[in-house]
Amino acid sequence: MKRIIWHQPERIMLFVAERTGEESYGRDYTAIGLEQDSRLVAGVLFTNYTKAAILMHVASDGSRHWMTPAFLAAAFRYPFIQLGCRRVTGLVRLDNEAAMHFDEHLGFRREGVLREGATDGCDMVIYGMLRNECRFLGERLRAALERIS
């Protein structure tokens, strides 16, 4: 059975960092995880909150069936509803085509490139989503989230 993890930010940060090639995301972050059979299968890390915007970092264990309606609702309701952000920004390595396709599937729009933005010099693609573009804030997904909370 899958369950959303709300209060283990360091565990989730380490999970996301390991899968994104980062050593750490510092100290100023919050996170939401998804567990199946007591192991993390996905994590969303939020950093660089400015009231208007926040950076969102997403990682999974590589399996295909972790994206549940409740987890999507949690991942997008947090920045847009709870924090009141107008936008969410994602950064994806240019050599990670699967992650770029994933962001685009979620509704993020490609906005630009940070040349040599990764620690190893790889370019980073900038993705953005505005609150009014987010399809995960509707009643059906809110209800899915409430059923598991």
Q: What are the boundaries of each domain within the chain?
A: 2-148
Residue pair 9/27 in contact (Cβ under 8 Å)? The answer is no
Strand order in the sheet with 124-130: 2-5, 29-36, 39-47, 53-60, 87-93, 124-130, 109-114
pLDDT score at 24: 75
Query: Six-digit token pair at 38?
Result: 């007591």
pTM of the model: 0.89
pLDDT (mean) for 129-137: 95
2-148: CATH topology:
Aminopeptidase (3.40.630)
User: Chain-centre distance of CA 3, in angstroms?
Assistant: 16
Query: Which is more confident, 20 or 144?
Result: 20
pLDDT per position as a tens digit, 47-70: 999 999 999 999 999 887 788 888
Q: What is the pLDDT of residue 23?
A: 74
